[in-house]
Chains A and B, each alone.
Chain A
């Protein structure tokens, strides 16, 4: 009888944790990489890496993680140590437990209170957008007002 009761009360299948559902790949704390790492999936890095990371999606450097080298990704979340420049096309988030030594190039940057950061931040870096955005000058040329001005100047 308790079985039927349970069935009635049972919620519709518990939603799996988001991190697991999206298949975030986790690289453990004893991993030591020396070289170049490329990836196209969300990655949580807890190991040590000497070299460069080139990533097209979200990359998080965990508390135990350490990177010596440059990082390129869409989103970068740092909770561990980074010695090197960080380039992100979307955003960089430096968490309270992070230790970062290097420059950050990203349109949006957040540094939490308590984080250790030394370096410079550039939010208008062209390379941050990886050349995906065309120059804004073109807009004014097709603008009727600008065209009028140009013809007036010519005439």
Chain B
């Protein structure tokens, strides 16, 4: 879709990373990341992307596969091609019909505080 954003870093499809990732710019993940992602901006998990990690960001769009909890300050979008297993926490969460999602959803504005909720509380 909006692949040609002005300055989006692309984490390419053959890249694999294990560890901790911090960033303050939009990033599109087409590769595989295991660990944690702390992000200040927008994260797009592309159709080829695979994330096995705890994901924190301002905005998260998922087209690929995510195993792990996600929390966003603004919004989380789970698109049609996505496969997600984990809990979502954001003021606005949308899941497109056709997406494969298993987990809990918490819509709260203070997405930053994670300690207050037990995982899978909404189930």
Binding site for B on A (CB under 8 A): 23, 25-41, 43, 47, 51
Contact = CB atoms under 8 A, between A and B. Distances in A.
A32 B40 CA distance: 12
B16 A32 contact: no
B20 A33 contact: yes
Contacts of A31: 9, 21-23, 25, 27
Contacts, number: 68
Contacts of B9: 26-28, 31
Interface residues of B, number: 21
14 contacts: A25-B10, A25-B12, A30-B24, A30-B25, A31-B22, A31-B27, A35-B18, A35-B35, A36-B18, A37-B16, A37-B17, A39-B12, A39-B14, A39-B31
Interface of B: 7, 9-25, 27, 31, 35
Nearest to B31: A39
Given A30-B24, A30-B25, A31-B22, A41 B14 contact: yes
A43 B12 contact: yes
B11 A25 contact: yes
B27 A35 contact: no
B15 A37 contact: yes
Task: Return the 7 tightest CB-CB contacts between A and B, nearest first.
Answer: A35-B19, A25-B12, A40-B14, A30-B24, A28-B9, A32-B22, A34-B20
